[in-house]
Amino acid sequence: MSQVILITGIGKRLGLALAQQMLAQGYKVVGTYRTEYPVLTSLKQQGVDLYQVDFYQQAQVDDFIASIKRDYHALRAIIHNASDWLPDNYQLDTDHYAPAEIMQKMMTIHVGIPYQLNLALQSLLIANDNTESNFADIIHISDYVAEKGSKKHIAYAASKTALNSLTMSFSALLAPKVKVNSISPALIKFNEGDDDAYKEKALSKALLPKEAGFNEITQAIEFILNSQFMTGRNLQLDGGRHLK
């Protein structure tokens, strides 16, 4: 029977690339999504088990956790990819979110959800067929700005810093059966609609002026899954931004 990997935020971009890579590696993939995307139909046809969850709704989170514990007896890994990216001046443009709500949302999606899932599903990770060469894993997708901070995304950066702290705490809690690590990329992939001026400014911040690409991150995931001696660490995939 294939080992099960749970990926949050599976419907687009990195989450979609991770799902496709894990499928190619022979894993059983379980994923969450908030919004319907056409590509989800293809994932279902490939055997991915999908759960629609709004992580900002605690009742849905509780139901999702109960479903996972009911439907699966073990997990090979949890990859926390679900994310949101609200600037601190969001309310000035739309009059929709106040600063307190922005901080609450950033801390919920990047800290509260991994915290809850890691605790609630730890028994499934420990139940994974664990031998000397086969760990279970938790992988947090963090961000380069966690160490540098951000003038325009203060709440986002703070929440990713807190996520990195979870990496260290859970690695200590769940050792030696479960490895816990994080990945902190910068500029994974431009979005459609990003203009040339923005791209030029973003690229100039790194020693390696290019997009990382989804493949860089999926290869890092594979390295962590195969590692026999790394836990509580944060892989920096930032193109050398820390030296500019």
The residues assigned a catalytic role are 156
Residue 78: enclosing H or E segment and its boundaries? strand 77-80
3-state DSSP: the chain helix, strand, coil percent, rounded to 5?
45, 15, 40
Spatial strand order of the sheet with 49-52 comes to 49-52, 28-33, 4-7, 77-80, 136-141, 178-185, 234-237
Which of helix, strand or coil describes residue 168? helix
CB burial of 29-45 (b: ≥16 within 10 Å; e: otherwise) equals bbbbbbeeeeebeebee
Residue 112 β-bridge partners: none
DSSP state of 169: H
Which of helix, strand or coil describes residue 195? coil
| C-alpha–C-alpha distance, residues 239 and 34, integer Å | 30
Residues 6+ apart with CB under 8 A from 235: 181, 182, 183, 184, 220, 223, 224
| Contact (CB, 8 A) for 37 and 50 | no
The token pair at 71 is 């439907």
Residue 77: enclosing H or E segment and its boundaries? strand 77-80
